[in-house]
Amino acid sequence: MSEIQTVEQKQLIADRVPPGDRWALTADPAKSVYESLTDTLEAFPAKASLAAQVNKTGTEAAAEVKTADDFRKLSLEAQLQFKATQPEAYKSLFTQN
C-alpha cells in the first residue's frame, strides 16, 4: 500500500510597502502597489507563472523559438533581438508556406 505525503513549502510572494498595509508582488517587475493584502492575493494568480521564475538570456530564449506562439511568449527585448539576429527565421514564423 502506498502512502501519500503532503509537503508544504513557504514562498514569499509580496513585500509590504509602507506606510500602512500596502503590498507589492515580488514577481511583478512593475512593482505595482496594492492597497490591501486581499487585493494583493487576488492579483497573485494573474501575475504568477513558472516562466517568471526561469531566467533566460535573450539568446537562450531566442534559440527556443520554433513557432509564432513561441515568439509571442518572448519578452519585447528578446523579440527584437530575435528579429534583428535571425531575420530569415523571423520571416518564416509569419509567412505561410
Predicted confidence (pLDDT) per residue in 29-84, tens digit: 788 899 988 888 888 775 555 444 444 554 555 557 888 888 888 888 888 888 88
Q: What is the pTM of this model?
A: 0.40
The answer to whether 23 and 37 have CB atoms below 8 angstroms apart is: yes
2 vs 87: which has the higher pLDDT: 87
Using the 8-state DSSP alphabet, how is residue 54 labeled?
-
Q: Which cell goes with 19?
A: 506606510
Helices first, then strands: H and E counts in the chain? 5, 3
Phi-psi region of 31 (alpha: psi -120 to 50; beta: other; left: phi over 0): left
β-pair partners for 95: none
